[in-house]
Amino acid sequence: MKNRTLTAGILIFVTAGSILRAAVTPEEATKLKGELTPMGAIRAGNADGSIPAWDGGIRQPPEGYRPGMHHPDPFAGDKELFVITAENMDRYAGQITAGQTAMLRRYPETWRLRVYPTRRSASLPERIQDAAVRNATTAELTDGGNGVRNASEAVPFPIPKSGVEAIWNHLLRYRGEALRQVFGQVSPTAGGMYTMVTIDQKVFFPYAQAGATIESINNRAIYFFQTVTAPARLAGQILLVHETLDQVKEPRKAWTYNPGQRRVRRAPNVAYDNPGTASDGQRTTDQLDGINGAPDRYDWKLVGRKEMIVPYNCYRLHGDALKYKDIIRPGHVNPEHLRYEKHRVWVVEATLKEGMTHIYARRTFCIDEDSWQILVVDQYDARGEIWRVTEIYPVNYYEVPVIYSTLEAIYDLQNGRYLALGLNNEGEVEDFSVELTLDDFTPAAMRRAGRR
Protein backbone atom coordinates (compact mmCIF):
# COMPACT_ATOMS: atom_id res chain seq x y z
CA MET A 1 0.00 0.00 0.00
CA LYS A 2 1.50 3.34 -1.03
CA ASN A 3 0.28 6.70 0.22
CA ARG A 4 1.26 10.03 -1.22
CA THR A 5 1.41 13.41 0.45
CA LEU A 6 2.77 16.82 -0.45
CA THR A 7 4.62 18.70 2.28
CA ALA A 8 6.28 22.10 1.79
CA GLY A 9 6.54 21.50 -1.92
CA ILE A 10 8.34 18.17 -1.48
CA LEU A 11 6.71 14.98 -2.69
CA ILE A 12 6.93 12.23 -0.10
CA PHE A 13 6.08 8.59 -0.58
CA VAL A 14 5.27 6.47 2.45
CA THR A 15 5.66 2.75 1.88
CA ALA A 16 5.79 -0.19 4.26
CA GLY A 17 8.01 1.28 6.89
CA SER A 18 10.20 3.46 4.65
CA ILE A 19 10.06 7.08 3.50
CA LEU A 20 11.28 8.03 0.05
CA ARG A 21 11.83 11.71 -0.57
CA ALA A 22 11.55 12.72 -4.18
CA ALA A 23 14.34 15.02 -5.29
CA VAL A 24 14.00 18.77 -5.88
CA THR A 25 11.71 20.08 -8.58
CA PRO A 26 13.09 20.79 -12.06
CA GLU A 27 12.50 24.49 -11.40
CA GLU A 28 14.63 24.44 -8.27
CA ALA A 29 17.31 22.36 -10.00
CA THR A 30 17.79 25.12 -12.58
CA LYS A 31 19.60 27.06 -9.83
CA LEU A 32 22.49 24.61 -10.27
CA LYS A 33 23.26 26.29 -13.58
CA GLY A 34 22.82 29.81 -12.28
CA GLU A 35 23.09 31.14 -8.74
CA LEU A 36 24.41 27.77 -7.52
CA THR A 37 27.27 25.66 -8.84
CA PRO A 38 26.54 22.09 -9.98
CA MET A 39 27.59 20.96 -6.49
CA GLY A 40 25.02 23.28 -4.91
CA ALA A 41 27.50 25.87 -3.64
CA ILE A 42 26.66 29.56 -3.80
CA ARG A 43 28.40 30.71 -6.97
CA ALA A 44 28.84 34.32 -5.83
CA GLY A 45 31.32 35.57 -3.29
CA ASN A 46 30.35 36.85 0.13
CA ALA A 47 29.37 40.36 1.14
CA ASP A 48 32.80 41.63 2.23
CA GLY A 49 34.72 39.93 -0.58
CA SER A 50 36.75 37.67 1.70
CA ILE A 51 35.22 34.68 -0.12
CA PRO A 52 35.44 35.12 -3.90
CA ALA A 53 33.01 33.87 -6.53
CA TRP A 54 33.55 30.34 -7.82
CA ASP A 55 34.97 30.45 -11.35
CA GLY A 56 35.29 26.71 -11.99
CA GLY A 57 38.25 26.09 -9.70
CA ILE A 58 41.59 24.77 -10.92
CA ARG A 59 41.01 23.66 -14.50
CA GLN A 60 44.56 22.79 -15.50
CA PRO A 61 47.78 21.91 -13.64
CA PRO A 62 50.35 24.64 -13.07
CA GLU A 63 53.29 24.89 -15.43
CA GLY A 64 55.92 22.23 -14.77
CA TYR A 65 53.60 19.66 -13.23
CA ARG A 66 54.08 16.07 -14.34
CA PRO A 67 51.97 13.07 -13.24
CA GLY A 68 53.53 11.34 -10.26
CA MET A 69 54.92 14.54 -8.76
CA HIS A 70 53.99 15.89 -5.36
CA HIS A 71 51.70 18.62 -6.61
CA PRO A 72 53.31 22.07 -6.91
CA ASP A 73 51.46 24.77 -4.99
CA PRO A 74 49.56 26.99 -7.43
CA PHE A 75 49.17 29.57 -4.65
CA ALA A 76 52.74 29.60 -3.35
CA GLY A 77 52.88 33.38 -3.70
CA ASP A 78 49.98 34.02 -1.34
CA LYS A 79 50.84 35.97 1.81
CA GLU A 80 49.48 35.11 5.22
CA LEU A 81 46.59 37.40 6.19
CA PHE A 82 46.53 36.81 9.95
CA VAL A 83 47.17 34.18 12.60
CA ILE A 84 44.60 32.97 15.14
CA THR A 85 46.11 32.17 18.53
CA ALA A 86 44.88 31.48 22.04
CA GLU A 87 45.31 35.18 22.76
CA ASN A 88 43.15 36.57 19.95
CA MET A 89 40.76 33.69 19.23
CA ASP A 90 37.78 35.51 20.81
CA ARG A 91 37.96 37.96 17.90
CA TYR A 92 37.09 35.08 15.56
CA ALA A 93 34.30 33.50 17.60
CA GLY A 94 31.71 32.07 15.25
CA GLN A 95 34.29 31.56 12.50
CA ILE A 96 36.14 28.70 14.17
CA THR A 97 34.58 25.59 15.66
CA ALA A 98 34.29 24.71 19.33
CA GLY A 99 36.90 22.02 18.72
CA GLN A 100 39.35 24.42 17.10
CA THR A 101 38.84 26.76 20.05
CA ALA A 102 39.51 23.89 22.46
CA MET A 103 42.73 23.06 20.57
CA LEU A 104 43.95 26.63 21.00
CA ARG A 105 43.20 26.47 24.71
CA ARG A 106 44.84 23.04 25.06
CA TYR A 107 48.05 24.12 23.29
CA PRO A 108 48.22 27.92 23.75
CA GLU A 109 51.96 28.14 23.08
CA THR A 110 52.25 25.88 20.05
CA TRP A 111 48.92 25.67 18.17
CA ARG A 112 47.73 28.37 15.79
CA LEU A 113 45.69 28.80 12.63
CA ARG A 114 47.56 30.55 9.83
CA VAL A 115 44.94 32.13 7.57
CA TYR A 116 45.53 32.86 3.88
CA PRO A 117 43.43 34.35 1.06
CA THR A 118 40.50 32.16 0.10
CA ARG A 119 41.00 30.22 -3.11
CA ARG A 120 37.94 28.36 -4.34
CA SER A 121 40.09 25.80 -6.10
CA ALA A 122 37.55 22.95 -6.09
CA SER A 123 36.91 21.52 -9.55
CA LEU A 124 35.47 18.35 -11.02
CA PRO A 125 35.23 16.72 -14.46
CA GLU A 126 32.33 17.96 -16.58
CA ARG A 127 30.77 14.50 -16.48
CA ILE A 128 30.55 14.65 -12.70
CA GLN A 129 29.10 18.15 -12.67
CA ASP A 130 26.45 17.07 -15.17
CA ALA A 131 25.66 14.00 -13.06
CA ALA A 132 25.12 16.11 -9.94
CA VAL A 133 22.59 18.27 -11.78
CA ARG A 134 20.85 15.13 -13.04
CA ASN A 135 20.80 13.54 -9.58
CA ALA A 136 19.12 16.61 -8.11
CA THR A 137 15.81 15.68 -9.69
CA THR A 138 15.99 11.89 -9.30
CA ALA A 139 17.82 10.92 -6.10
CA GLU A 140 15.87 9.54 -3.15
CA LEU A 141 16.58 8.44 0.40
CA THR A 142 15.47 4.95 1.40
CA ASP A 143 15.03 3.08 4.68
CA GLY A 144 14.67 6.16 6.84
CA GLY A 145 17.70 7.84 5.32
CA ASN A 146 20.04 4.84 5.47
CA GLY A 147 20.28 4.34 1.73
CA VAL A 148 20.20 6.17 -1.59
CA ARG A 149 18.55 5.27 -4.88
CA ASN A 150 18.22 6.79 -8.36
CA ALA A 151 21.60 8.52 -8.25
CA SER A 152 25.07 7.80 -9.59
CA GLU A 153 28.50 9.25 -10.34
CA ALA A 154 28.21 12.42 -8.25
CA VAL A 155 26.64 13.77 -5.07
CA PRO A 156 22.99 12.71 -4.91
CA PHE A 157 21.60 15.84 -3.23
CA PRO A 158 23.34 19.01 -4.43
CA ILE A 159 20.47 21.00 -2.89
CA PRO A 160 20.16 19.18 0.46
CA LYS A 161 17.05 19.47 2.60
CA SER A 162 18.28 17.47 5.61
CA GLY A 163 21.42 16.62 7.52
CA VAL A 164 21.46 13.02 6.34
CA GLU A 165 21.30 14.16 2.71
CA ALA A 166 24.36 16.34 3.32
CA ILE A 167 26.19 13.39 4.88
CA TRP A 168 25.31 11.18 1.91
CA ASN A 169 26.78 13.87 -0.34
CA HIS A 170 30.07 13.47 1.50
CA LEU A 171 29.89 9.67 1.43
CA LEU A 172 29.17 9.56 -2.31
CA ARG A 173 31.17 12.55 -3.51
CA TYR A 174 33.49 12.04 -6.45
CA ARG A 175 37.01 10.94 -5.47
CA GLY A 176 38.15 9.71 -8.83
CA GLU A 177 37.28 6.31 -10.22
CA ALA A 178 40.16 4.38 -8.63
CA LEU A 179 42.95 5.25 -6.22
CA ARG A 180 46.13 3.74 -4.82
CA GLN A 181 47.91 5.23 -1.83
CA VAL A 182 51.02 4.16 0.05
CA PHE A 183 51.19 6.28 3.16
CA GLY A 184 52.35 6.54 6.73
CA GLN A 185 50.22 6.67 9.85
CA VAL A 186 51.46 7.72 13.28
CA SER A 187 49.91 7.99 16.73
CA PRO A 188 52.54 9.83 18.80
CA THR A 189 52.68 9.66 22.56
CA ALA A 190 52.01 12.90 24.42
CA GLY A 191 55.77 13.41 24.36
CA GLY A 192 55.96 13.01 20.60
CA MET A 193 57.43 9.50 20.28
CA TYR A 194 55.95 7.31 17.55
CA THR A 195 56.38 4.29 15.31
CA MET A 196 55.54 4.77 11.66
CA VAL A 197 52.86 2.41 10.34
CA THR A 198 52.97 2.02 6.57
CA ILE A 199 49.78 1.19 4.69
CA ASP A 200 49.26 0.22 1.05
CA GLN A 201 45.66 1.03 0.12
CA LYS A 202 43.64 0.47 -3.05
CA VAL A 203 40.15 1.90 -3.56
CA PHE A 204 37.73 1.38 -6.44
CA PHE A 205 34.61 3.55 -6.81
CA PRO A 206 31.95 1.74 -8.89
CA TYR A 207 29.40 4.46 -8.06
CA ALA A 208 31.64 6.98 -9.83
CA GLN A 209 31.94 5.03 -13.07
CA ALA A 210 30.35 6.54 -16.17
CA GLY A 211 26.83 5.20 -16.65
CA ALA A 212 26.68 3.46 -13.27
CA THR A 213 23.31 2.35 -11.90
CA ILE A 214 22.53 0.69 -8.59
CA GLU A 215 21.80 -2.50 -10.53
CA SER A 216 24.97 -2.42 -12.63
CA ILE A 217 27.17 -1.92 -9.56
CA ASN A 218 25.29 -4.48 -7.43
CA ASN A 219 24.53 -1.90 -4.72
CA ARG A 220 28.28 -1.36 -4.18
CA ALA A 221 29.54 2.20 -3.76
CA ILE A 222 33.18 1.52 -2.79
CA TYR A 223 35.65 -1.38 -2.73
CA PHE A 224 38.50 -0.92 -0.26
CA PHE A 225 41.64 -3.10 0.12
CA GLN A 226 44.19 -2.12 2.78
CA THR A 227 47.47 -3.88 3.65
CA VAL A 228 49.76 -2.96 6.54
CA THR A 229 53.38 -3.31 5.37
CA ALA A 230 55.28 -1.99 8.42
CA PRO A 231 56.30 -2.29 11.23
CA ALA A 232 57.13 -6.00 11.28
CA ARG A 233 54.79 -6.74 14.20
CA LEU A 234 51.80 -5.51 12.17
CA ALA A 235 52.93 -6.29 8.63
CA GLY A 236 50.69 -8.53 6.59
CA GLN A 237 47.38 -7.52 8.16
CA ILE A 238 44.82 -7.01 5.40
CA LEU A 239 41.37 -5.44 5.44
CA LEU A 240 38.83 -5.76 2.62
CA VAL A 241 35.57 -3.78 2.62
CA HIS A 242 32.62 -3.71 0.22
CA GLU A 243 30.67 -0.53 1.00
CA THR A 244 27.02 -0.53 -0.01
CA LEU A 245 24.57 2.17 -1.02
CA ASP A 246 21.80 0.87 1.24
CA GLN A 247 23.75 -0.05 4.34
CA VAL A 248 20.89 -1.20 6.53
CA LYS A 249 19.19 -3.41 3.96
CA GLU A 250 22.61 -4.80 3.02
CA PRO A 251 25.29 -3.84 5.55
CA ARG A 252 28.87 -3.35 4.46
CA LYS A 253 30.77 -6.58 3.98
CA ALA A 254 34.23 -6.80 5.48
CA TRP A 255 36.98 -9.41 5.77
CA THR A 256 40.33 -9.47 7.56
CA TYR A 257 43.47 -11.51 6.96
CA ASN A 258 45.76 -12.28 9.90
CA PRO A 259 49.25 -13.36 8.80
CA GLY A 260 49.77 -15.39 11.99
CA GLN A 261 46.70 -17.51 11.31
CA ARG A 262 46.98 -17.25 7.49
CA ARG A 263 43.21 -17.18 7.30
CA VAL A 264 40.59 -14.88 5.83
CA ARG A 265 37.72 -14.20 8.19
CA ARG A 266 34.49 -12.22 7.92
CA ALA A 267 34.69 -9.08 10.05
CA PRO A 268 31.25 -7.66 10.89
CA ASN A 269 32.87 -5.57 13.64
CA VAL A 270 34.62 -3.35 11.07
CA ALA A 271 32.04 -0.61 11.57
CA TYR A 272 30.85 2.17 13.85
CA ASP A 273 33.00 2.76 16.96
CA ASN A 274 35.23 -0.29 16.78
CA PRO A 275 38.92 0.72 16.62
CA GLY A 276 40.36 1.69 13.24
CA THR A 277 43.23 -0.18 11.60
CA ALA A 278 46.54 0.10 13.47
CA SER A 279 45.33 3.33 15.10
CA ASP A 280 46.35 2.50 18.68
CA GLY A 281 42.77 3.26 19.68
CA GLN A 282 43.01 6.86 18.47
CA ARG A 283 40.13 6.64 16.01
CA THR A 284 36.97 4.66 15.42
CA THR A 285 36.31 2.74 12.22
CA ASP A 286 33.62 5.21 11.15
CA GLN A 287 35.89 8.20 11.78
CA LEU A 288 38.06 7.67 8.70
CA ASP A 289 37.51 10.43 6.12
CA GLY A 290 35.51 12.39 8.69
CA ILE A 291 32.65 9.87 8.61
CA ASN A 292 31.99 6.64 6.75
CA GLY A 293 29.52 3.77 6.87
CA ALA A 294 25.87 3.55 7.79
CA PRO A 295 24.28 6.71 9.24
CA ASP A 296 21.60 4.83 11.20
CA ARG A 297 22.88 5.43 14.76
CA TYR A 298 22.48 9.20 14.67
CA ASP A 299 19.84 11.85 14.13
CA TRP A 300 21.18 14.35 11.60
CA LYS A 301 20.39 18.05 11.66
CA LEU A 302 21.23 20.40 8.80
CA VAL A 303 22.20 23.60 10.63
CA GLY A 304 22.89 25.47 7.40
CA ARG A 305 25.73 27.28 5.67
CA LYS A 306 28.27 29.25 7.66
CA GLU A 307 31.44 31.14 6.85
CA MET A 308 34.17 29.29 8.73
CA ILE A 309 37.96 29.21 8.87
CA VAL A 310 38.95 25.72 7.75
CA PRO A 311 41.95 23.85 6.31
CA TYR A 312 42.22 24.28 2.53
CA ASN A 313 44.80 24.15 -0.26
CA CYS A 314 47.41 22.55 2.02
CA TYR A 315 50.02 22.12 -0.72
CA ARG A 316 52.94 22.95 1.54
CA LEU A 317 51.96 20.12 3.89
CA HIS A 318 51.64 17.86 0.82
CA GLY A 319 55.04 18.69 -0.66
CA ASP A 320 58.14 16.51 -0.83
CA ALA A 321 60.31 19.33 0.52
CA LEU A 322 59.14 18.31 4.01
CA LYS A 323 60.34 15.33 6.00
CA TYR A 324 58.08 13.51 8.43
CA LYS A 325 60.09 14.93 11.32
CA ASP A 326 59.13 18.41 10.09
CA ILE A 327 55.44 17.59 10.42
CA ILE A 328 55.04 15.43 13.53
CA ARG A 329 55.13 17.30 16.85
CA PRO A 330 53.95 16.49 20.38
CA GLY A 331 50.19 17.04 20.68
CA HIS A 332 49.54 18.03 17.06
CA VAL A 333 51.10 18.35 13.63
CA ASN A 334 53.34 21.33 13.01
CA PRO A 335 51.03 24.32 12.33
CA GLU A 336 53.80 26.12 10.42
CA HIS A 337 52.99 23.91 7.42
CA LEU A 338 49.20 24.24 7.52
CA ARG A 339 47.01 26.61 5.56
CA TYR A 340 43.56 27.84 6.61
CA GLU A 341 41.08 29.87 4.59
CA LYS A 342 37.60 31.26 5.08
CA HIS A 343 35.06 29.15 3.19
CA ARG A 344 31.34 28.59 3.27
CA VAL A 345 30.63 25.18 4.76
CA TRP A 346 27.53 23.16 5.46
CA VAL A 347 27.26 22.55 9.20
CA VAL A 348 25.65 19.24 10.19
CA GLU A 349 25.03 18.07 13.75
CA ALA A 350 24.73 14.38 14.60
CA THR A 351 23.13 13.32 17.89
CA LEU A 352 23.17 9.71 19.01
CA LYS A 353 19.71 8.16 18.81
CA GLU A 354 18.03 6.91 21.95
CA GLY A 355 18.82 3.23 22.40
CA MET A 356 21.89 3.35 20.14
CA THR A 357 25.48 3.05 21.36
CA HIS A 358 28.62 4.86 20.25
CA ILE A 359 31.57 6.42 22.06
CA TYR A 360 30.65 9.79 20.50
CA ALA A 361 27.35 11.12 21.79
CA ARG A 362 27.43 14.07 19.42
CA ARG A 363 29.40 15.17 16.38
CA THR A 364 29.48 18.44 14.46
CA PHE A 365 30.68 18.45 10.85
CA CYS A 366 31.90 21.28 8.64
CA ILE A 367 31.54 20.20 5.00
CA ASP A 368 33.00 22.24 2.13
CA GLU A 369 30.18 23.62 -0.02
CA ASP A 370 32.30 23.41 -3.18
CA SER A 371 33.39 19.75 -2.94
CA TRP A 372 31.40 18.06 -0.11
CA GLN A 373 34.70 17.12 1.52
CA ILE A 374 34.46 17.15 5.32
CA LEU A 375 37.07 19.57 6.67
CA VAL A 376 36.53 19.73 10.46
CA VAL A 377 34.68 17.48 12.91
CA ASP A 378 34.11 18.09 16.63
CA GLN A 379 33.40 14.85 18.55
CA TYR A 380 31.79 14.91 22.01
CA ASP A 381 31.74 12.31 24.76
CA ALA A 382 28.73 11.18 26.79
CA ARG A 383 29.28 14.05 29.25
CA GLY A 384 28.85 16.59 26.45
CA GLU A 385 32.53 17.56 26.47
CA ILE A 386 34.66 17.82 23.35
CA TRP A 387 36.83 14.74 23.17
CA ARG A 388 38.43 14.65 19.75
CA VAL A 389 38.82 17.12 16.89
CA THR A 390 39.36 15.98 13.32
CA GLU A 391 40.95 18.25 10.73
CA ILE A 392 41.26 17.10 7.14
CA TYR A 393 43.89 18.94 5.09
CA PRO A 394 42.94 18.93 1.38
CA VAL A 395 44.49 19.86 -1.91
CA ASN A 396 43.14 19.84 -5.45
CA TYR A 397 44.64 16.86 -7.27
CA TYR A 398 44.37 18.80 -10.48
CA GLU A 399 45.26 15.92 -12.78
CA VAL A 400 41.85 14.36 -11.94
CA PRO A 401 40.62 17.04 -10.92
CA VAL A 402 39.27 16.54 -7.40
CA ILE A 403 39.55 17.98 -3.89
CA TYR A 404 40.85 15.24 -1.59
CA SER A 405 42.74 14.88 1.66
CA THR A 406 46.53 14.94 1.72
CA LEU A 407 46.57 14.36 5.50
CA GLU A 408 43.94 13.64 8.14
CA ALA A 409 44.59 14.34 11.82
CA ILE A 410 42.44 13.33 14.79
CA TYR A 411 43.43 15.21 17.94
CA ASP A 412 42.52 13.78 21.34
CA LEU A 413 42.07 16.65 23.78
CA GLN A 414 41.84 14.35 26.78
CA ASN A 415 45.01 12.27 26.49
CA GLY A 416 47.14 14.73 24.53
CA ARG A 417 47.72 12.32 21.65
CA TYR A 418 46.63 12.31 18.02
CA LEU A 419 46.52 10.18 14.91
CA ALA A 420 47.89 11.46 11.60
CA LEU A 421 47.31 9.40 8.47
CA GLY A 422 48.18 10.05 4.85
CA LEU A 423 51.87 10.90 5.25
CA ASN A 424 53.69 10.41 1.94
CA ASN A 425 56.09 13.36 1.70
CA GLU A 426 59.05 10.96 1.59
CA GLY A 427 57.31 8.42 -0.64
CA GLU A 428 54.84 7.95 -3.48
CA VAL A 429 52.11 10.42 -4.27
CA GLU A 430 48.48 9.29 -4.60
CA ASP A 431 47.79 7.56 -7.92
CA PHE A 432 44.33 8.22 -9.37
CA SER A 433 45.23 6.58 -12.71
CA VAL A 434 45.72 3.07 -11.33
CA GLU A 435 43.80 0.37 -13.18
CA LEU A 436 41.82 -1.90 -10.85
CA THR A 437 39.16 -4.54 -11.37
CA LEU A 438 36.66 -6.26 -9.10
CA ASP A 439 39.00 -9.26 -8.98
CA ASP A 440 41.36 -7.10 -6.90
CA PHE A 441 38.73 -6.87 -4.15
CA THR A 442 37.84 -10.47 -3.28
CA PRO A 443 38.69 -12.77 -0.36
CA ALA A 444 40.71 -14.80 -2.86
CA ALA A 445 42.79 -11.69 -3.60
CA MET A 446 43.42 -11.37 0.15
CA ARG A 447 44.71 -14.93 0.31
CA ARG A 448 47.02 -14.37 -2.62
CA ALA A 449 48.37 -11.17 -1.10
CA GLY A 450 48.86 -12.88 2.27
CA ARG A 451 51.02 -15.60 0.77
CA ARG A 452 53.49 -13.20 -0.81
User: How does pLDDT run across 387-416, given as a tens digit for each residue?
Assistant: 999 999 999 999 999 999 999 999 999 999
82-451: which CATH topology? outer membrane lipoprotein receptor (LolB), chain A (2.50.20)
The reply to whether omega before 401 is within 30° of 0 (cis) is yes
In the prediction, which pLDDT does 213 show? 87
CB 158 within 8 A of CB 136: yes
Find all residues with CB under 8 Å of 252, minimum gap 6, and list them: 241, 242, 243, 244, 270, 271, 293, 294
- How would you classify the pairing of strands 2-7 and 178-186? unpaired
| DSSP helix/strand/coil, 208 | helix
CB 423 within 8 A of CB 167: no
Share of the chain above pLDDT 90, in %: 91
In the prediction, which pLDDT does 21 show? 55
pLDDT higher than 60, residue 309:
yes
Residue 200 CA to its chain's centroid (Å): 19
Residue 16: band (very low, low, confident or very high) from pLDDT cuts 50, 70, 90: very low
CB 51 within 8 A of CB 58: no
Per-domain boundaries in the chain: 82-451
Residue 10: band (very low, low, confident or very high) from pLDDT cuts 50, 70, 90: very low
Residue 214: band (very low, low, confident or very high) from pLDDT cuts 50, 70, 90: confident
Measure the CA–CA gap between 146 and 297, rounded to whole angstroms: 10
User: Taking all residues of the chain, what is their mean pLDDT, rounded to a whole number?
Assistant: 93
Where are the strands (E) in 353-415, listed by range?
362-368, 374-380, 386-397, 402-412
Share of the chain above pLDDT 70, in %: 95
Give the pLDDT mean for 267-285. Answer: 95
User: How does pLDDT run across 162-212, given as a tens digit for each residue?
Assistant: 999 999 999 999 999 999 999 999 999 999 999 999 999 999 999 999 999
Residue 246: band (very low, low, confident or very high) from pLDDT cuts 50, 70, 90: confident
Measure the CA–CA gap between 215 and 5, rounded to whole angstroms: 28
| DSSP helix/strand/coil, 108 | coil
In the prediction, which pLDDT does 22 show? 52
Measure the CA–CA gap between 100 and 391, rounded to whole angstroms: 9
